[in-house]
Each structure stands twice: as C-alpha cells, then as structure tokens.
C-alpha cells in the first residue's frame, strides 16, 4: 500500500522487513533518522530476535557488524560522510573477509570545511573498498534497493552499500510502497553464510596471507564483483516478479535510443535531469540520460551499449578527484576504449548546492554550441575564487580560505541546524 | 587417575617445594582444582607448531587462558583476536595453531567484533556459545581502547583478555601506553639525560575497567598459571563484560633470558610493580599477597630494558620512583596483608 513517508523511515521499514539479526547504530546526519526508526521498531517488539547495538563510533559500528556477520547473523548499519571515513579500515576488512553486510550511506560532503549537505564525496572515496555500491534515484528505489542488497550480498558473499542522497532523499516525504515482511519473505531466503565462526566446525578466519597468495585472493574479490554484474539484473528481475515494480539493476537509460548527447549521473539528480531532457526533447534536441545504479561493480558493457551511437557524453558528478577531475567519467571512458566520443565532466551539487533546471539548461546550451570544457564546475562563483587567489598572492599570511570567502560573500548563505 | 580426593592439612606450614617454587604439586590437588594443562585431554586451543619466540609469555598465557575457557564452556566458545604477535605467530596461512573457532579482523576493533559476535549469537538463539576476545597491550590500552570502553559500558557478554608485554613487540618493540616508566624501547631509547620512557600517569586499564563497574576484572601473570586458569574459569561463569589483564614477559622486548619468563613475571609480582587481584562490580574483592617481598631492583636487573638504570651509574632517583610505584600498589591492594586472599 503506498504511504506518504519520509525516505529514512521507508528505508528503516524496508530493512526491518529483511529481518536483520544485528543492527549497529551510531548517529550522524543525515543518516540518523534511519537508525532511529529501526531503534523504535526493535524497542517496540516489532522485530523479535533482532539485536540493536548502540555503539561508540562508526569504526565500532562496522566492526560489530563484522562480528555479527561472521557468526552467521544478518547484519546492517548506516552512516554518512565523516562516519564512513572513520570506519574505513573496517569497511575494507568487511569486504576482504567476504562478509555480506548491508550498509546505507546517506551521501554527504566530506570536510574540511565541515558541511552536512549532500554530495557523493563520501561513497566515491570508497569505490575501491571492495563493496558493491548501488545508488538510489528515488525513495521508492532506496527502500527497494535495501531488500535487493541483502539478496545480492548474501548470494555472492560480499558487502553492499546502498547510497541515497542525504537530505534530498533521506528527509524528503514521498509516496512509497514500503516492502512488507510478507513480500520480502517470498524474495529473500534465510541467510546461509559461506563461512561462519562456529564452535561445531572451528576454522580460522582472517589469517595472514603473504605474497604467495595475496594476488589470487584479491583477484577473487574482483571476480566476484564481475559475477555480481550478472546477479544484480537477475535479482532486479525477480524483484519485479514479487513486488511488481522496477527497481535496481545496473543502468537506467532514459530516452537514449537516438540520442546524440547523453548525460550520465547517479542518484536523485536523475529526476531533475529527466525533466530537463524532456523539455529539450520537446524542442527537438536528441538528448538522453543514463542513470548508473550499480557503480560497483561498474557495468562497462551496458554503459558502452547505451553510448555506442552517441557522439557526446556529459558526466554530471557530485564528487571529483582533486588534481584530475571526473571519477565517473573516467570509468565511462574506460568502457568506450577505441570508440571516439566527445566528453566533459561537470562537477555539480557539491556540499548541497542546488542543481537547478536553469543551470542545467545553460550548461547544455553551451554543450550544444560546443563550448563545454573538459572539466567544469556548475555555477562556480569565479569572482569569489579569484579574490581568494589574489589574497594568497599578496603576502604569506592570507588566513583561512573558507572563512575569507564567507566574509567576501557578506553573509553565510545557509546555517547548520 | 585416582578417584579419591587428597585432602591437605589446612594450616600446614610446609608447602610443596619439589618444583623449587611456591606451586602446589598438581597431583596433590582435588580433581576439580587440578590444572587444565595437566589433563591428558586438554583442549590445546593454541596447539604446537606456532612461530612464537622461545620463552614467549604471550603464547604460554594464551594457551592456558583459552584452554581454561574451553573447559569452562564445554567447548561452546568462539574467539576474536586483535592484530599483533599472537595473531601473527599463530596463523601464517595456510597453517593455524588454533583448534577453536577463531577470527582476526583488525588491530583496534577486537572488542567491537566480539560485541557483534555476542549480539549475533543471541539473535541466532545460540546464547550458550560464549565469546572471548584477546589482544596485546597495544591493541587494548591504545588503539582498541575506545572499542574496549564501549564494550564495557554496554556490559556486552564478552571476556576480553589483554596479554600485556608492555610495548608494541610485533612491530619491533615500540612504546605503548602500557610501557612502564624508564623502560627502553625503540621509541623511548636509552639515550640522553633521561633515558627510557617518560614518567607519566600510565594507563592502568584494570582500574579503568573497574571504573566501568563491569561484573569482573582480574589481573594475572604467567608466573601463577593455576591462578590464571582459575580466573578464566570464574570469568566464564559470569555473564556480561569481563576483563582479564595478564602480564606476559617478552624476552625479545624486555631483554630477559628466554628461560626466565616465569621468573621475571614472578619478580614483577613480588616487588609490587604488578599487583595480582580480582574485582567485582568495580570493587577489589581479593588480591594475591606477596610471599617474599623484594625490592624493585631484583625485577629491573633481570631485564636489559632497564640496564641504563644500573650502568654506567646507578640512577637512584629513577629507581626510587619505580619503588614508590610498587609501594603504592602494595598499599592500594593490601599485598602484604596475610588475610588478603
């Protein structure tokens, strides 16, 4: 039954429907509402047999999930931004040990300067962590992806991050069909771990591996992600059969069939992009959008197929690799080796800056005139940057850059709450 | 084995000196008090073939501790191990010395992994399976300390064992928060006007554990292995967070003779520098009295890490401060009171 519900609450109920054995919780905005929702469900007795552990840090949250998963319990946690970075050592450990933990990341910028709003810097920093990464476009998809994530994780014995845009999705009230426990029971089998710490069959897990086998162990991690490229669409198909709606999968092309220009993006900005594309299509422009749901594993074949007849792609990215530029675009180019195609990276929405239709139209107008550079920053206030650069050229003690620029603006545009 | 119990005269002033120590001959103990290691069917949780150094106190302490835990739980036990010597010398894959279910995750997260194991086992309806976490002093008092305190504060059903050899030995003897003042390590070298480690407040984790008012905190050494086994047995009879801090001399890092590991551990207790006690719910309930009080000199002289206190000139100023630490322990834990136990 469709209900009007906050994104975080929808995710909490979807996770609860998957009957996790252990939930590890540590607060960080904008993820907190999810674990609050789960806390209430456990406390009220709606999740019998589920252990809700209030840990002392994100590092402990992931470590507790590792312990729970290792003894064979279905384990879940959620985090964002600094919290994800604080647990990084355990994030890599969970995937290295092959433990099928599911974690929500409510995507948020990384400081300094500290910023609580949305971009993808946090999860993009973990693209090489060995976790699968699925990006939700809507709250419906966010809820659905969690159900699929447990299924995928447990099938291939690797952990899965479900990435949903902080505030934009987590705090948005939308109509969502929340997966029910009855539906999930028909879709998600009980967790049968490939390996388990068990006194009845004692094994050693997490031993030291030297040069003689380390390459092979790491190769296997890659191999399993490549297998996931087949598992993810199959799971999405089965999901459709049980739940009657499309969610998940590898890529989500929109009006790409005859497109000359394809804009590529991840997450909630796809909605705005589709509106913009509809408006430009109405004017006769051959343009489409390619949403990438599975960023890890990266669906090279599917991306190549969508882009094969296009002459240009623009990668709209909510994060970038400082010192070179686009992250998603480099992976897309790797999918198109030998195929000539013009491309640009447009970095947008950093630290919660709104990505408006007006700005996207202006950017696409310039693209249509062939004026787009290889790397651009949408709505960059060049004058503000130039003033700070000028300050650093005069004298050696120009002061803290972020605070200087806020002073130049005359007012803080937004305040933390 | 004989079925009949041998009863000992309670006030017999003569002890059993046949092993040259104060140890009571195991064969004279009642069956249920005999040491686990003496049983033909001892679990050998950490079995032979591992790569610890000769005279390693940690390997000895771990085998006794885990064997006692296995016996106390009838084998219903899983374990997690912090990164460190114990982890490295026991599992150079594909070999493993562990005959129990064993997981190594990271250096600083063993208490949190143990929390997750205990929670997962409860969720699976396997609360009969108990969890033991183990780490060295670096993994416990320094890098894993946040997770340890969190586990204590939530009173999670975990026995955490710290094997304290008073420095980072696995990486080549660097100072930890458990390194005693004046001790030489590779990062507190015996050079300059104040050689060795600084005099700080130290990080007395048994007392910090007691401040969490967890049900059971105890210290032990490899000099009294029967006492160590007894404390593990007691700990496994209790639910909730428990902490056992075991002094395990490291011949490599301490510069002591491999054959002297037990003697060095005993010397640490007999001068008062390492108090052996038990605490329940934050209160000390028992301590092991010093049998033959010795000055700290006797303990320090057995170890090259303190050699700079005796040559080229004796540093009475430093030795007196170490003696004051020992004297404070003797007062605090009543180590010279005959009725302490």
Q: What is the pLDDT of residues A150-168, one digit of tens each?
A: 999 999 999 999 999 999 9
CATH 3.40.50.920 fits domain A251-377: yes
| Contact list, B81 vs chain A (CB under 8 Å) | 206
Q: What is the pLDDT of residue A152?
A: 98
Rounded Cα distance, A238 and A56, in Å? 38
Q: Per residue in A29-79, pLDDT tens?
A: 999 999 999 999 999 999 999 999 999 999 999 999 999 999 999 999 999
A330 touches chain B (CB under 8 A): no
Backbone φ and ψ for A264, nearest 5 degrees, come out as: -110, 135
pLDDT band at B22 (very low <50, low <70, confident <90, very high): low
Candidates B159, B183, B310, B197; CA nearest to B250 is B183
- Give the number of other CB atoms < 10 A from CB of residue A49: 13
Beta carbons within 8 Å of B169's beta carbon, 6+ residues apart: B84, B85, B136, B250, B252, B253
Question: Does residue B26 belong to any structural domain of this protein?
Answer: no
* CATH number, domain with residue B66: 3.40.50.970
Chain B, 46 to 85: residues with Cβ < 8 Å from chain A are 75-78, 80-81
Angle (CA) A84-A239-A332 rounded to 5° is: 55
Cβ–Cβ contacts within 10 Å for residue B233, how many? 17
The residue range of the domain holding B303 is 46-340
Residue B24: band (very low, low, confident or very high) from pLDDT cuts 50, 70, 90 = low
Terminal C-alpha separation, chain B: 30
- Kindly state whether A48 is in contact with chain B, defined as any CB-CB distance less than 8 angstroms: no
* Residue B12 forms part of a structural domain: no
Pairwise CA distance, residues A272 & A247, whole Å = 18
Q: Which residues of A353-375 are buried (b: 16+ CB within 10 A; e: fewer)?
A: bebeeebbeebbeebeeeebeeb
B10 is a domain residue: no
Residue with token string 């890490």: B305
Can you give the pLDDT at residue B5? Answer: 56
Determine which of A258-272, A386-400, B65-79 has the lowest per-residue pLDDT on average.
Answer: A386-400
Among A53, A90, A201, the residue with its CB nearest the CB of B119 is: A53
CA nearest to A190 within chain B: B124
**Is the predicted ipTM greater than 0.90, yes or no?**
yes
Which chain A positions have a beta carbon within 8 Å of B101's beta carbon? 197-199, 201-203
- Residue A417 has a pLDDT of 44
Cα angle A2-A4-A6, degrees, rounded to a multiple of 5: 120
Confidence band of B92 (pLDDT split at 50, 70, 90): confident
The per-residue pLDDT of chain A, averaged, comes to 96
| A258: confidence class by pLDDT, cuts 50, 70, 90 | very high
- The tokens for B101 are 């279910």
What residues contact A10, with CB distance under 8 A and at least 6 apart?
A: A139, A140, A142, A143, A174, A176, A178
Tell me the per-residue pLDDT of B287-337, one tens digit each, with 9 for 90 and over: 999 999 999 999 999 999 999 999 999 999 999 999 999 999 999 999 998
- Residue A22 to residue B119, Cβ atoms within 8 A: yes
Say whether domain A2-195+207-243 belongs to CATH 3.40.50.970.
yes
Range B230-236 average pLDDT: 97
Q: Which CA distances in Å does B90 have to A51, B51, B95, B99, B288?
A: 32, 7, 8, 11, 31
Domain count of the fold of chain B: 1
Query: Which residue in B119, B155, B170 has the most chain A C-beta atoms within 10 A of its own C-beta, making it the best mutation to test that interface?
Result: B119
As annotated, the residues of chain A forming the CATH 3.40.50.970 domain(s) are: 2-195+207-243
pLDDT above 60: residue B15: no
Mean pLDDT of A292-316: 98
Peptide bond into B82 cis (omega under 30): no
Residue B13 vs residues A265, A332, B28, B247, B272: alpha-carbon distances, Å: 84, 84, 16, 29, 24
Tell me where in chain A the CATH 3.40.50.920 domain(s) lie.
251-377
Assign B39 a pLDDT band (cuts: 50, 70, 90): confident
User: E strands, B139-260, where?
Assistant: 158-164, 216-221, 242-247
Q: Are B132 and B159 in contact (CB under 8 A)?
A: yes
Nearest CA in chain A to B92: A208
Q: How far apart are CA A24 and CA A63, in angstroms?
A: 9
Q: Does B115 touch chain A (CB under 8 A)?
A: yes
Nearest to A60 among B96, B118, B147 (CB): B147
Can you give the length of chain B in residues? 341
How many CB atoms are closer than 10 A to CB A72?
Answer: 21
Give the pLDDT mean for B129-155. 98
Q: In what order do the strands lie in the sheet with A132-135?
A: A51-54, A22-25, A75-79, A102-107, A160-165, A132-135, A294-296
Question: What whole-number distance in Å separates Cα of residue A42 and Cα of residue A189?
Answer: 21
On whether residue B8 sits in a domain, the answer given is no
- B147 part of contact set with chain A, CB < 8 Å: yes
What pLDDT band is residue B340 in, cutting at 50, 70 and 90?
very low
Q: What does the pLDDT read at residue B33?
A: 79
Give tens-digit pLDDT for B242-273: 999 999 999 999 999 999 999 999 999 999 99
Subunit contact A75:B116, Cβ cutoff 8 A: yes
Q: How far is CA A114 from the centre of its chain?
A: 20
Query: Do the chains contact at B104 and A205, CB–CB below 8 Å?
Result: yes
Strands A160-165 and B158-164: unpaired
CA separation for the pair B323, B316 (Å, rounded): 10
Task: Write out chain B residues lying below 8 Å of A203, CB-based.
Answer: 101-102
Pairing relationship of beta strands A160-165 and A204-205 according to DSSP bridges: unpaired
CA distance to partner chain A, nearest, from residue B86 (Å): 11
Beta carbons of B161 and B149 less than 8 angstroms apart: no
**What is the pLDDT confidence band of residue B284, given thresholds at 50, 70 and 90?**
very high
Whether B162 maps to a domain, the answer reads yes
**Model pLDDT, residue A319:** 98
> How high is the pLDDT of residue B2?
45
Nearest CA in chain A to B156: A53
Distance between CA atoms of residues B286 and B278, nearest Å: 5
* Among chain B residues, CA nearest to A192: B124
> What pLDDT, on a 0 to 100 scale, did the predictor assign at position B315?
97
Q: Do residues A93 and A66 lie in contact, with contact meaning Cβ atoms separated by under 8 Å? A: yes
Tell me whether residue B33 is in a domain: no
Decide if B166 contacts B183 (C-beta within 8 A): yes
* Chain A contact probe: residue of B46, B71, B90, B113 with most A CBs at under 10 A: B113
Indicate yes or no: CB of B124 within 8 angstroms of CB of A21: yes
Helices (H), B32-102: 57-73, 85-90
What pLDDT sits at residue B31?
79
| Residue B295 within a domain | yes
The rounded Cα B288 to chain-centroid distance in angstroms is 14
| Residues of A whose CB is below 8 A from B153 | 56
Q: Count Cβ atoms within 10 A of the Cβ of residue B53 and give its class: 0-12 exposed, 13-18 middle, 19 or more buried.
A: middle
Residue A174 DSSP one-character state: E
Answer whether residue A296 shows pLDDT above 90.
yes
**What is the reported pLDDT for A243?**
98
What would the pLDDT profile of B184-224 be if each residue is shown by its tens digit? 999 999 999 999 999 986 799 999 999 999 999 999 999 99
Answer yes or no: are the C-beta atoms of B139 and A100 closer than 8 Å.
Answer: no
Q: Is residue B201 part of a domain?
A: yes
The two structure tokens encoding residue A32? 């907190």
Query: In chain A, what residues touch B112 (CB-CB under 8 Å)?
Result: 55, 59-60, 63-64, 67
Report the b/e string of B83-103 with b at 16+ CB within 10 A.
bbbbbbbbbeeeebbbbbbbb
For chain A, give the longest Cα–Cα distance.
Answer: 71
Cβ of B120 within 8 Å of Cβ of A21? The answer is yes
B88 and chain A: CB distance < 8 Å anywhere? yes
Radius of gyration of chain A (CA): 22
Give the relative orientation of helices B57-73 and B261-270 as an angle to the nearest 10 degrees.
80
């Amino acid at each position: 039954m469709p209900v009007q519900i906050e994104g975080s609450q929808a995710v909490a109920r979807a996770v609860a429907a998957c009957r996790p054995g252990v939930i590890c919780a540590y607060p960080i905005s904008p993820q907190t509402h999810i674990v609050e929702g789960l806390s209430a469900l456990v406390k009220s007795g709606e999740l019998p047999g589920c252990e809700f552990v209030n840990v002392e840090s994100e590092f402990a949250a992931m470590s507790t999930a590792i312990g729970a998963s290792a003894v064979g319990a279905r384990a879940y946690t959620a985090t964002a931004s600094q919290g994800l970075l604080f647990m990084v050592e355990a994030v890599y450990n969970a995937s290295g040990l092959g433990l099928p933990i599911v974690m929500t990341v409510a995507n948020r910028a990384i400081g300094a300067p500290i910023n609580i709003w949305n971009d993808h810097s946090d999860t993009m920093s973990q693209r090489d962590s060995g976790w699968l990464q699925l990006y939700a476009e809507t709250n419906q998809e966010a809820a659905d992806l969690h159900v699929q994530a447990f299924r995928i994780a447990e099938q291939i014995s690797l952990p899965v991050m479900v990435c949903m845009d902080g505030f934009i999705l987590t705090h948005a009230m939308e109509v969502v069909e929340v997966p029910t426990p009855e539906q999930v029971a028909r879709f998600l089998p009980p967790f049968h771990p490939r390996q388990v710490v068990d006194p009845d069959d004692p094994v050693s897990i997490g031993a030291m591996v030297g040069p003689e086998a380390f390459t092979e162990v790491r190769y296997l991690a890659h191999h399993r992600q490549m297998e996931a490229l087949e598992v993810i669409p199959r799971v999405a198909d089965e999901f459709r059969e049980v739940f009657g709606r499309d969610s998940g999968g590898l890529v989500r092309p929109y009006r790409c069939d005859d497109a000359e220009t394809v804009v590529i993006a991840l997450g909630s900005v796809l909605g705005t992009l589709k509106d913009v594309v509809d408006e430009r299509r109405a004017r006769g422009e051959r343009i489409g959008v390619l949403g990438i749901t599975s960023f890890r594993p990266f669906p090279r074949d599917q991306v190549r197929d969508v882009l094969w007849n296009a002459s240009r792609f623009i990668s709209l990215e909510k994060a970038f690799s400082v010192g070179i530029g686009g992250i998603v675009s480099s992976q897309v180019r790797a999918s198109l080796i030998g195929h000539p195609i013009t491309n640009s990276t447009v970095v947008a929405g950093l630290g919660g800056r709104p990505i408006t239709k007006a700005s996207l139209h202006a950017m696409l107008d310039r693209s249509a005139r062939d004026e787009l550079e290889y790397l651009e920053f949408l709505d960059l206030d060049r004058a503000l940057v130039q003033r700070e650069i000028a300050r650093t050229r005069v004298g050696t003690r120009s002061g803290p850059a972020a605070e200087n620029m806020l002073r130049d603006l005359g007012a803080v545009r937004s305040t933390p709450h | 084995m004989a079925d009949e119990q041998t009863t000992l005269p309670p006030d017999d002033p003569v002890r059993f000196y046949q092993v040259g120590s104060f140890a009571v001959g195991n064969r004279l103990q009642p069956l249920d008090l005999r040491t686990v290691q003496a049983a033909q069917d001892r679990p050998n949780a950490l079995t032979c073939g591992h790569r610890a150094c000769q005279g390693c106190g940690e390997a000895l302490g771990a085998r006794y501790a885990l064997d006692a835990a296995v016996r106390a739980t009838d084998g219903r036990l899983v374990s997690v191990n912090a990164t460190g010597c114990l982890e490295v010398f026991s599992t150079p894959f594909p070999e493993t010395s562990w005959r129990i279910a064993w997981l190594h995750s990271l250096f600083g997260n063993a208490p949190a992994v143990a929390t997750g194991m205990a929670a997962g086992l409860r969720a699976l309806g396997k609360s009969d399976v108990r969890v033991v976490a183990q780490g060295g002093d670096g993994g416990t008092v320094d890098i894993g300390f946040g997770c340890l305190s969190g586990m204590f504060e939530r009173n999670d059903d975990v026995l955490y064992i710290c094997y304290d050899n008073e420095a980072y030995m696995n990486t080549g003897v660097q100072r930890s928060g458990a390194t005693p003042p004046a001790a030489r390590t590779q990062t507190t070298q015996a050079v300059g006007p104040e050689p060795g480690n600084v005099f700080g407040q130290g990080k007395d984790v048994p007392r910090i554990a007691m401040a969490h008012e967890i049900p059971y905190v105890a210290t032990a050494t490899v000099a009294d292995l029967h006492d160590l086994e007894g404390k593990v047995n007691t700990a496994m009879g209790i639910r909730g967070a428990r902490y056992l801090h075991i002094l395990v001399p490291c011949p490599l890092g301490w510069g002591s003779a491999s054959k002297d590991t037990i003697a060095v551990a005993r010397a640490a207790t007999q001068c008062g520098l390492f108090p052996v006690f038990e605490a329940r719910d934050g209160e000390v309930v028992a301590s092991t009295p010093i049998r033959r009080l010795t000055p700290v000199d006797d303990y320090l002289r057995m170890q090259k890490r303190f050699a700079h206190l005796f040559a080229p000139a004796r540093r009475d100023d430093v030795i007196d401060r170490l003696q004051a630490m020992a004297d404070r322990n003797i007062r605090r834990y009543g180590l010279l009171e005959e009725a302490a136990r």
